[in-house]
Amino acid sequence: MADEHPEREISGMTVRIDRSLCIGSGNCTNLAPEVFVIRQDNIVDFKEEVPDIEAGRLEESMAICPVDALILEDEEGEQIVP
Ligand code: SF4
């Protein structure tokens, strides 16, 4: 079974997905297709290889989530999304 709370370090920040909240809207995958992908269960997950992308676009792609399934912490561990 897939990890329901996968986590990655991207551009020095910590990115978490709460797959139990995702409704598969695709907003995040549209804005950051290098990072996020919709799996066969219609729920988002990380791409196999996640590159560092611009912090601003990463934050935007996560803040746009309608159900707050994406959690972003900055370099100091402070939560900036949602
Ligand atoms: S924006 Fe949120 S609800 Fe939509 S696919 Fe991404 S994580 Fe899921």
Domain boundaries, given as residue ranges, for the chain:
7-81
Candidates 3.40.630.30, 3.30.70.20, 1.10.10.10, 1.25.40.850; correct CATH number of 7-81? 3.30.70.20
Cα 47 from chain centroid?
A: 10
Q: Which of 67, 71, 72 to mutate to test the pocket of ligand 1 (most atoms within 8 A of CB)?
A: 67
DSSP string covering 48-79: SS-----HHHHHHHHHT-TT--EEEE-TTS-E
B/e letters for 8-35, b = 16+ CB within 10 Å, e = fewer, are: eebeebebbbbbebbeebebbbebbebb
Mean pLDDT over 12-19 rounds to 98
Ligand 1 proximal residues by C-beta, below 6 Å: 22-28, 44, 65-67, 69-70
Mean pLDDT over 14-43 rounds to 98
pLDDT given for residue 3 in this prediction: 87
CB atoms within 10 A of CB 49: 6
56-76 pLDDT, tens digit per residue, is 999 999 999 999 999 999 999
